[in-house]
Amino acid sequence: MTTKPRQRVEENNGAKRPISITAVVDCVGVLATGSVHGQLYLYDTNKAGGSTGFGTEELRTRVRRGDQLLWNVLALECEAYVSIDDIVVDREVCEPERRVYPGTDVAYWIATVKKDGITSVPYQIKFKVGTRTEAFTAPVSASLVG
């Protein structure tokens, strides 16, 4: 956990808004088909910075060292439940951590990019949907690109 103190410092400098990555999940579709495939739309706020693949399962988010990344999830049906269960990514690149908005139980995942000069680092998001206990893993991978 040697990276913790530096991460804290970078947060306090708070230079800019994190790059937010939003997953829109068609919960009904996931529960009906038993898969996230075809029911997931990914977006980020770094379009101007060169991210591509908006609205697909293969979002490519352009990142640099020191960028903060924040993942959250929206359900297509406003009554449906969906949350991010885990983000599986190379720990050498970033270590996503689950946190909640202060005073609520609404979660987000946050990480700081540790490396520069990465080419393409795929990662997978696991979702909890509805009342299913086991998580659904996105079969197609989103990625962080340098």
Partner 1 sequence: MPQQLAIIVLVDVGNALESGTLDGNTYLFDNMKLQGSTNQGTGELVTAINGSYWLDGSQASEQVLNWLPYSLGSIPPTVPRGYTAERARQTDQQALADLDALSVKPPATDTEAAAELGRIKRTVGTRIKTTRRTRGRLSGQKILDVTGQVVTDENTGAHSYPAPVITDVFGAAVDEKIMYPAEYGSPDLVTDGWYWSATVDTSRPGTYAYSMRIQLHRLVQEGGEALWQPVNLTCQSDIKVTSAPRRNAFTKAGVGMLPIPPSPPRP
Binding site for partner 1 (CB under 8 A): 14-20, 22, 24, 26, 28-29, 41, 43-45, 47-48, 54-56, 70, 72-74, 76-78, 99, 101-104, 106, 108, 110
Q: Smallest distance from the beta carbon of 19 to partner 1, in angstroms?
A: 8
Residue 7 is inside which H or E element, if any?
Answer: helix 4-13
Which amino acid belongs to residue 125? I
Closest to partner 1 by CB, 55 vs 139, is: 55
Burial 2-31 (b: 16+ CB within 10 A, else e): eeeeebeeeeeeeeeebbbbebebbbbbbb
Residue 66 or 90: the one with the smaller Cβ distance to partner 1 is: 66
From 53, 34, 44, 62, select the one nearest 139 (Cα to Cα): 34
To partner 1, the closest distance from the beta carbon of 60 in angstroms equals 16
User: Which one, 41 or 137, has the nearer CB to partner 1?
Assistant: 41
